[in-house]
Copies of this chain bind each other. A is one copy, B any other.
Amino acid sequence: MKNYNVGVLGATGAVGQKFIRLLQNHPWFTIKALGASGRSAGKSYKDAANWIESTPIPSAIENILVKNCSASEFEGIDFVFSGLDSSVATEIEGEFARAGIPVISNAKNYRTQPNVPLLVPEVNPDHIELIKTQTFTDDGSGWIVTNPNCVVIPLVMSLRPLFDNFGVKSVILTSLQAISGAGYPGVPSLDILGNVIPFIGGEEPKIADEPLKLLGTLKKDSVEYARFPIQATATRVPVLNGHFLSITAALETPPADIDEVINVLKDWKSPIAELGLPSAPGYPLHVYDDPRYPQPRLHADSENGMQTAIGRVRSSNVFDISYVAMAHNTIRGAAGGAILNAELLVKKGYLN
């Protein structure tokens, strides 16, 4: 197996740090270059970053000199992970792609571009083929793949089996989101300690839109979106990690009974289960029977933070079914999801 030299853009930020921690000891990928803003460029990583992970900076990383996020400084890098802020991601990610360096991005900027895959390996692995229609380079060597907003993960992971088996007519949900979703310094403690904030700027439209692309049908050079309304209320709660959703859904073909729904969720098989991807969770979807579960503090780290947990699956007197879903927002919902995307891209021959 080839070992890949990878770069991380936005390496000093919260997402960048998570990339660095998760890639420590990765069997396929080795970080060889770190990019950040001009303020950090030229410094050693340990001097540039305000490290907030609980384990120390990997020793192979701490003395790497941080570069500017300029493609010309990333020669010899096979591809880059991007944890860039959305204020700069459009330009920088585009520049890397045009320079022939594939970008596997956690930023939102290209998610809605028709020929950029918005990718969750267990949900829509076929969308990967959109890459072939991208025109950043003449020879196809540079392209961009994105993963969805962190709170979309537990939603779309749980909707995939429901959508395939029953069809989805409409969804109403309330999210209880962890503070780590806002990055660092992020949410002031004075705002959230012992409190609920009923609004997260920009979050609800993403929750309404991204699942429709993810569950959409691949066409020649774009995705035909799924069509059903999603109404979301996004709130912040004093939880460290784990975005929690309370979901009620109307289905196209109502199930005979709730057990049919539970069985569909429990029996669901991941389309990438047999590929041997290093970061793929053994059980990407877990259904709890105990009504007290899942809980973010107890279960966000399940399967190294890559599992989506479902619970309280029950009939609804308004819509067909109601349930809760939860996933680790900065692992599965951000850096870990992007790494899994990269692993799938390797396996499918897009990276070489």
Q: Which residues 285-300 in A have Cβ within 8 Å of B in the complex?
A: 291-299
Whether A187 contacts B188 in the complex (CB less than 8 A), given A171-B318, A292-B198, A322-B233, comes out as: yes
Please state the number of chain copies in the assembly.
Answer: 4
Which residue of B is nearest A297, CB measured? B195
Comparing A82-90, A97-105, A238-246, the segment that makes contact with chain B is: A238-246
* Contact of A179 with B by CB under 8 A: yes
Q: Is A180 in contact with chain B by the CB < 8 A criterion? A: yes
**C-alpha spacing A164/B99, complex, angstroms:** 62
For residue A299, give the distance in angstroms from its CB to the closest CB of chain B: 7
Q: Is the CB of B317 within 8 A of A231?
A: yes
CB of A77 closer than 8 Å to a CB of B: no
Number of interface residues of A (CB under 8 A): 57
| Residue from the list B186, B195, B298, B317 in contact with A195, Cβ < 8 A | B298
A191 contacts B by Cβ under 8 Å = yes
Q: Considering the chains assembled together, what is the distance between the CA atoms of A187 and B192 in angstroms?
A: 11
Contact call B195/A188, Cβ cutoff below 8 A: no
The answer, yes or no, to whether A324 is at the interface (CB within 8 Å) is yes
A351 contacts B by Cβ under 8 Å: no
Q: Which residues of B contact A135 (CB under 8 A)?
A: none
| Cα of A29 to Cα of B271 in the assembled complex, Å | 39
Whether A231 lies near B248 (C-beta < 8 A) is yes
Interface residues of A in 103-154 (CB under 8 A from B): none
